[in-house]
Amino acid sequence: MTMDQRNPSPSALEKRIQAGKADPISDAERASAARIRIVVDKKRGRKTEDWIKKLAQSA
């Protein structure tokens, strides 16, 4: 049984995403991506912008 078969109606978030009224990326996912960017920049010997560092600490 797939997830679609168990819950045929989309959630409120899914409805907002389909209507183009919600961002499908959560704040936690953005912060996680920012933390990864910091690690990669450090390995490459590059300076990470301050806004990315702040984003990594946000969630």
Q: Cβ(27)–Cβ(59) under 8 Å?
A: yes
Q: How many domains does the chain have?
A: 1
Is there a domain that residue 48 lies in?
yes
User: In which band, very low, low, confident or very high, does the pLDDT at 1 lie, cut at 50, 70 and 90?
Assistant: very low
Is there a domain that residue 1 lies in?
no
Cα 35 vs. chain centroid, distance in angstroms?
Answer: 12
pLDDT in tens, 14-41: 787 788 877 778 889 999 999 999 999 9
Query: Is the pTM higher than 0.85?
Result: no
**pLDDT of the residue at 53:** 95
- Residue 22 to residue 34: CA distance in whole angstroms: 20
Is there a domain that residue 12 lies in?
no
- Residue 57 to residue 28: CA distance in whole angstroms: 10
Is there a domain that residue 9 lies in?
no
Residue 58 sits in which domain range? 24-59
Is there a domain that residue 30 lies in?
yes
